[in-house]
A = this chain, B = another copy of it.
Amino acid sequence: MRVGIIVIGNEVLSGKVEDINSTWLMAQFRELGAKVARVAIVPDEIPVIAEELRRFADLFDVVITTGGVGPTHDDLTFAAVAQAFGREMEHNTVLEKVIRGYIRDEIGPGYLRMAMLPVGTDLIFAGELPFPITRVENVYVMPGEPSVLRKKFSAIRESFREAPFHLRRLYTRLDEGHLADMLDQLQRDHAAVEIGSYPVYGNPDYQTQITIESKERAATEAAFAALVELVPADTVWRRDA
């Protein structure tokens, strides 16, 4: 399963609000064994959001959007979803009923605007959530407020679970310039695994972190054993067992 994430909001691009949602979602999907293939951060502009939605919906199995779903003038995500999929907007009577149940005590009347959805939007009532999760085709339209996003995603996260990744790490005092040839060789010999190397500067313990990862435990272990053979033991600061 390949996942695309679209973060919507001028407040993120302009540096006023930090995007912690995409980072959190990437970690969630990692734990679920699913691959996030692309992330985009886009402004509150319907044509831009719609174009990115169209591309992502075609390229990936699952698309998650965050942001732009409130009742105010800068909340344009559903209008962009409607445009991307060539659907009209309509008053969703089920969602309106749910919202009306909450208005009296807790939320303002403008929230009724949130019942305007693209025709045929799926409403997913999950767990203890007061409001449903909204989905159009393979696009899950999620809120930007981090606490609400997390509650909503957590209610459906198990539906995304796949076989886990198997990861091993080694930290060495060698820099990438001394590692390049051996990692090239290792990647050729172990084409089934993904090998990453990440330099760090100014750390007294190590200069490079090397990761080996795949969905096959045996392939990961074999490549990692070969790595341990290749990297001189007296340069290794720490490694997975």
When distances are taken between beta carbons in the complex, the residues of chain B under 8 Å from A13 are 26, 35-39
The reply to whether the CB of A11 lies closer than 8 angstroms to some CB of chain B is: yes
Q: Which residue of B lies closest to A213 (CB)?
A: B14
Do A196 and B15 touch (CB < 8 A)? no
Q: Whole-angstrom distance between the alpha carbons of A7 and B41 in the complex?
A: 11
Q: How many copies does the complex hold?
A: 2
Chain A 159-194 interface mask (CB, 8 Å, partner B; 1/0): 000000101000000111111110110010000001
Do A180 and B145 touch (CB < 8 A)? no
When distances are taken between beta carbons in the complex, the residues of chain B under 8 Å from A220 are none
Question: Could you say which of B103, B187, B211 contacts A11, with CB atoms under 8 Å apart?
Answer: B211
The reply to whether the CB of A62 lies closer than 8 angstroms to some CB of chain B is: no
Q: Whole-angstrom distance between the alpha carbons of A213 and B26 in the complex?
A: 31
Question: Could you say which of B70, B147, B211 contacts A16, with CB atoms under 8 Å apart?
Answer: B211
Nearest chain B CB to A178 CB, angstrom units: 3
Q: Which of A's residues lie within 8 Å of B, judged by CB?
A: 7, 10-19, 22-23, 26-31, 35-43, 48, 70-74, 103, 107-113, 144-145, 147-148, 165, 167, 174-181, 183-184, 187, 194-202, 211, 213
User: Known contacts A39-B41, A109-B178, A147-B201; can you find 18 more A-B pairs with CB under 8 A?
Assistant: A11-B196, A14-B165, A15-B31, A15-B36, A16-B30, A18-B23, A71-B176, A71-B177, A71-B180, A72-B176, A73-B187, A74-B196, A107-B177, A109-B177, A111-B176, A144-B198, A145-B200, A148-B201
